[in-house]
Amino acid sequence: MVIGSHENDATQTRLWEAIGQRGIGMLGLTKSGLHAQPMIAFVERRRKRLWFIARNDTDLVRSVGDGGSGDFLFQDGELMASISGAINVVEDRRRMGRYWNAAVSAWLPDGLHDPRLILLRMDCVDAEVWISGMGLTKFAWEIAWTGPYPRTPEYARPAQATLH
């Protein structure tokens, strides 16, 4: 379903807010042959960017090289999204310091001053977002109880959001 500008704005707002609050998703590189990796995303909404703190000795970062394209897959409750965009390696210790928190520290226990740390910047281009409108209980009910006449439950309708 293609959405109008008002719906696009509302979808984007909900998407950015959900990522900003939870931020954990899977980051993968297009055509790299690698599986997506769990990452914590930091939102720069004004520029429609996602930032990730990573180590430069990982296959993911090495595969980015001088730039690549990728997808960030995100789910939080009723919202599921696949976001596509260009990914680049950036060295910016100040920005990294702003994003550093206990969750990042748990994944990168050598600390903020580890010389292997870098940032990945994803310039988001587009997204497909699904908002189911049902919580876990209703979802389980829809799956478990189809009644005497099998039917396909309506979970969510996808909406595309242009992010550039």
132, 156 in Cβ contact below 8 A? yes
Count of structural domains, the chain: 1
The whole-angstrom separation of Cα 61 and Cα 37 is 11
Q: What is the pLDDT of residues 125-156, one digit of tens each?
A: 999 998 876 555 555 555 555 565 555 555 55
Q: What is the pLDDT of residues 104-114, one digit of tens each?
A: 999 999 999 99
Q: What is the pLDDT of residues 50-65, one digit of tens each?
A: 999 999 999 999 999 8
Name the token pair of 25: 């998703």
pLDDT at 2 over 90: no
Residue 80, classed as helix, strand or coil, is strand
Residue 29 sits in a domain whose CATH number is 2.30.110.10
Mean pLDDT for the chain? Answer: 84
Taking CA atoms, 48 is separated from 2, 126, 149, 159, in Å, by 20, 10, 45, 17
The whole-angstrom separation of Cα 133 and Cα 131 is 6
In terms of Cα–Cα distance, which of 57, 20, 26 is closest to 39? Answer: 26
Confidence of residue 74 (pLDDT cuts 50, 70, 90): very high
In terms of Cα–Cα distance, which of 47, 46, 39, 9 is closest to 22? Answer: 39
Enclosing domain of residue 37: 5-162
Query: Would you tell me how many other CB atoms lie within 10 Å of the CB of residue 73?
Result: 13
pLDDT at 3 over 50: no
69, 126 in Cβ contact below 8 A? no
Find the mean pLDDT for residues 34-39: 93
Q: Is the entire prediction scored with pTM above 0.75?
A: yes
The whole-angstrom separation of Cα 68 and Cα 12 is 23
Find the mean pLDDT for residues 86-107: 95
